[in-house]
Each structure stands twice: as C-alpha cells, then as structure tokens.
Amino acid sequence: MKKFAFTLAESLITLTILGVVASLSIPTLVSSYKNKQNSVRLEHTYSTLRHVISNAVANGAPARVKSSDNLTQMNKWYEKMIVPYVNVYRKCSDTEQGCWPLVTFKPDGSKFRADGTCGSKTVSFVLPEGSYVCLDDYSKSDIKNNFGVEDVTSDRAVVLFYDVNGNGRPNTFGQDIFISIFNGEKLIPAGKDKSFEDVNSNCTKSGNGYMCMQKAIDSGYKFPLY
C-alpha cells in the first residue's frame, strides 16, 4: 500500500499559512472579548450607581451641592449619598491617586489627563468589582452645554465619571469611561436631552465622547460604540 506524507516544504508552508491566519484573527478576537467585557461592566456599574442614588434619595439624603469646587461639601455628599448604600473598596479625595487611571484619553487617542486624578476638589472611589467612580460638581449651564442634560433641579449638580475597568486600558471616553449626571432626583445618562444625531456625532473619534453613555443605552450596550 502506498503511503502519503507531507514533505518538509509543505509542512513549512502550512505552518506559515496558519501563522498568518492566527496573526489576523487573534487581535480581532481579543478586541471583541474586551468590548464584551466593558459592555457588561458598564451596564452593571450604571445599574449599581442608579440603585445607590435611588436608595439615597428615597431615604432623604441631601441631594444638592451649593458651591463650586468645595471639597468639604463634596466629601459630605459622598458620605451621605454613597457610603451607606454600597461597599467601597477605596476612597480618594482631591489630588490623591489610586482611584482613577494614571492617564486618560480622548476618543482620538490624545491625552485628556495624566496626573492620576479626575481633577482637584473631587472625590473618587473604587467599587468592589473594580470600577473607578469620580464625583465632580458642575453648573447647570455647563451640564447642559457639555453633557447634554437639561433636567437639573438646582444651579449646581454632581457629575459622575466612571471607568468601568479601573486602570485597565484603554482609559478612553466612550470605550471604558462614561458619564452620568445626578440631577437632584435621579441619575441621568449624559446626552439624554440631545437628539439621536447629536449623540452619535459626539460619540465618535472626532467627538469628545462625553455623551457615549446615552449611545450605549440606545444601542443596548453593543460595543464598540465608535
């Protein structure tokens, strides 16, 4: 009986082809896996924060901030609105590092911040699942112009930034960093009061990605968003 076998040359060609196929498919699979992870993490983080805020409001926690860049006031808001309703792994205040990515990026890949904080006079914390959350206050007009939310009950409100996978890359708006606003009564996704076209335009590589939370909800948390 005649036996068939691959020659050395044929084996090398086969291995080369397999290597090329792997080099093309593995990055795509890895990217798809990371997108799925961040999608699940975003939905969970947003649901957790909404539940926390809802419980705090229902129990009469103070809902408003009265002055800008007041660290004492922001700490009090955190102690009343967050601490009683969720186990916080770690808390950072002002420019203390450890609760926000060391470097964050805009959708186009350029650096947004590179000091390990989300800004001075802010409070940030780490949720048990590893998400980073930052609390900052903005004026009603800034919230409307920058974050696309008009339904704010006071002159100033708390904006929540969250990186759903902590210090893991890409630390980029619209990919793993998202924004919602506490309007004095409930948590609202950034971009809620903008048109579908405006949200889609903002949540692109040429936009700032601030309104990607609304796009994520509109898409059923299907990543990538851009």
The closest of 183, 162, 184 to 171, measured between CA atoms, is: 162
**Each residue's pLDDT tens digit, 70-100:** 999 999 999 999 999 999 999 999 999 999 9
Residue range 111-121: mean pLDDT, rounded:
95
Angstrom CA distances, 66 to 40, 161, 165, stand at 35, 20, 31
- Look at strands 156-163 and 177-182 and give their pairing: antiparallel
Does this model's pTM top 0.85? My answer is: yes
Query: Is 10's pLDDT higher than 60?
Result: no
Gap between the Cα atoms of 13 and 10, Å rounded = 5
Q: Model confidence at 105, in pLDDT bands (50, 70, 90)?
A: very high
Q: Can you give the pLDDT at residue 101? A: 97
**Each residue's pLDDT tens digit, 51-69:** 999 999 999 987 678 888 8
